[in-house]
Amino acid sequence: MADIIQLLPDHVANQIAAGEVVQRPASVVKELLENAIDAGADSIKLIIKDGGKALIQVIDNGIGMSTTDARLSFERHATSKIKSAEDLFSLNTKGFRGEALASIAAIAHVELLTKREEDEVGVQLKIEGSKVVTQDVTVTPKGTSLCVKNLFFNIPARRNFLKSIQVEFRHITDEFQRVALAHPNIQFHFYNNGSELFNLPSSNYRQRIVNVFGGKTNEKLVPVEEETQVVKITGFITKPEFSKKSRGEQFFFVNNRFIKSAYLHHAVVSAFEGLIKPGNFPGYFLYLDVDPSSIDINIHPTKTEIKFDDEHTIYALLRSAIKHALGQFNVVPALDFEQDQNLDTPYAYKGKGAEVPKVVVDATFNPFSHDMASPSKSSGSGGGGTNRSSYEKPNTKGWENLYVGLESKVGKESDFSSVSFESEAITGSIFDDSKKALDHVATTFQLKRKYIVTTIKSGMIVIDQSRAHQRVLYENFLKNITIKEAVSQQLLFPLSLSFSKSDIVIIEEILDSLKTLGFAFDKIEDELVEISGVPLLVPESEVGMVLDQLISDYQLDVQIDSFSQSDIVSKTLCKTLAVKTGEQLDNDSQMALVNDLFACKEFKISPFNKPIYITITGDDIDKKFM
């Protein structure tokens, strides 16, 4: 029997490796940006077209490559970062496995322009599907420009699995933000479809966070700093009052590398315990510096997960550092039972001596003098029994004129029929009202401020009030979007809200759906949204919360067509505005909710595929008494 095991061809092996390294266009962006950083660039440009499907280009002013290095960089496991196995435990660079460019070149059209400072001319390479098409000498500035076109052109199945342009663009934006936040000393430019989205100058950590997420972010940040033998912790957390219901601005960086860690996230959330509402999440930008030999960053292909040697110690240090920061900057309310506030001396009285109070007595004052005719001045007299003339009341002569002609009207009883008495309580009708109340017994009642119980022919049903209201609102919002006849409530004063640039992009995507629901926008600028009208069911105080939740849900869900966009918007609004568990409803509201629910097209499940009510028949009740 012939041998059946054979080595894979290089182009097949590269495509297999690409399945791990390149999951979507954002993966290419991450690898190319990290290569530019490793090349020592201090200015990097990222250019995107059609969500990265058509074009991804990264231009840097790093050290560049020679002709030989340019060719070798596209070979598998070709790297300048490690030379032995021991180097894996002392990594200070981003990429090190040498698979990125080889994997990208296997599934896309790649064009490379690079030049070192000491060389007079550079080199241009064009590669399609791991095959070098051309290699020429060219004139190019110092650094490297790598252009990736037509991603997954030779793997149609993988290309079909890509999401919409908007979804892929958001993933690219997330990767760009992670790299930019980790390296504030590098200048970044981000262009999308010809327009500049981000222009981030070289700055410090705080300024970089503000430049990425908007000017309003500065007032939300609380600095965190702690240095021990195990780890050095720096960065910022957001104040508890700015916590959100979505996991938005949460970033961990270990040795300037973005990571995801549910374990460290739990340490941050536990430090905020008691300061934020249940279900809300704090924002944080935390930078951890540890010994490279104490972590393993090679446990995941995308290198976003790492393994610590001593996770428990880092957990405890991170939690205590955040608690210390919250207390140090007076974010946590504190009570000092030993200090008496009455003993605090105002700054204006510092250095002043004590002054003895003086009492001035008017020796000529006589309360019984005839000149003291004003009652207000005579009120200080304790026993003014004598000389009453000084306290005579003003002349009240002529008061009888008020009642002239009244005697003639009193005799006519018919005139009293036109007399009305306002807000006079009627106490004699208590028994009549109670009799009427017995005749009209309510058919619904509320159980634990969560369920509405009502009777039917076969028994009774128990309705979850929150889910029922969600279903009613969901169908109303979806109907308004479809027929485009929603009613808008105009605001007396326009409402100005601040968002990051990436959030503004999402708002512009769903702008048509928001307008059909009743939102009216005056202007949408770089970081400012001005709203002049809101739907009838949306309170003005909750507009910001509704839009934040809407942006978060839109980022998490996958939308392909306009209907799914409308569906996401309707679901978010119904979830945010529905009656919550714990709210008390009167009988009229309960009956109205029950009637509205059973008037819906789908009344059995909520918009989130959860049962709305259960039925308890008479037989079920009888069985309980057997």
Domains recognised in the chain with CATH numbers: 10-200 (3.30.565.10), 205-328 (3.30.230.10), 451-614 (3.30.1370.100)
pLDDT tens-digit map of 151-161:
888 888 888 88
3-state SS of 19-47 is: HHHCCCHHHHHHHHHHHHHHCCCCEEEEE
pLDDT tens-digit map of 72-109:
888 876 666 655 655 555 566 665 555 788 888 888 89
Region 185-211 average pLDDT:
91
Region 179-186 average pLDDT:
93
- pLDDT at position 296, please? 74
Q: Which is more confident, 410 or 535? A: 535
Q: Which of 105, 126, 102, 97 is nearest to 114 (CA)?
A: 126
As a whole-number percent, the residues of the chain with pLDDT over 70 amount to 76
Task: Give the integer Cα–Cα distance in Å for 598 and 607.
Answer: 15
Q: What is the DSSP letter of 557?
A: S
3-state DSSP assignment of residue 187? strand
In the block, residue with structure tokens 């840097």: 60
* Tokens coding 432: 């009549």
Region 235-245 average pLDDT:
87
pLDDT tens-digit map of 312-345:
999 999 999 999 988 887 666 555 555 555 656 6
- pLDDT at position 180, please? 94
Q: How many CA atoms lie within 13 A of 575 on its CB side?
A: 20
Q: Cα separations (Å) of 66 from 34, 38, 73?
A: 19, 16, 10
Is 614's pLDDT higher than 50? yes
Region 297-322 average pLDDT:
81
Cα radius of gyration (the chain): 37
Task: Give the integer Cα–Cα distance in Å for 90 and 233.
Answer: 20
Is 348's pLDDT higher than 70? no
- pLDDT at position 241, please? 86
Task: Give the integer Cα–Cα distance in Å for 198 and 590.
Answer: 51
Q: What is the DSSP letter of 39?
A: T
Task: Give the integer Cα–Cα distance in Å for 452 and 401.
Answer: 65
How many residues comprise the chain? 626
pLDDT tens-digit map of 535-592:
877 888 888 888 887 887 776 654 444 456 778 788 888 888 888 888 888 888 888 8
E strands within 469-556? Answer: 488-498, 520-524, 528-535
- pLDDT at position 90, please? 58
- pLDDT at position 343, please? 58
Q: 584 with 446: CB under 8 angstroms?
A: yes
Is 379's pLDDT higher than 50? no
Q: 145 with 224: CB under 8 angstroms?
A: no
Q: 234 with 222: CB under 8 angstroms?
A: no
* Tokens coding 254: 């270990």
- pLDDT at position 437, please? 38
pLDDT interval class at 621 (50, 70, 90):
confident
pLDDT tens-digit map of 490-519:
888 888 888 887 788 888 888 887 888 788
Which of left, alpha, beta for 328 (phi over 0: left; psi -120 to 50: alpha)?
alpha
Cβ atoms within 10 Å of 40's Cβ, excluding its own:
13
pLDDT tens-digit map of 9-65:
776 776 666 666 788 899 899 989 988 998 889 999 999 998 898 999 999 999 999
Q: How many CA atoms lie within 13 A of 85 on its CB side?
A: 0
Average per-residue pLDDT for the chain: 79
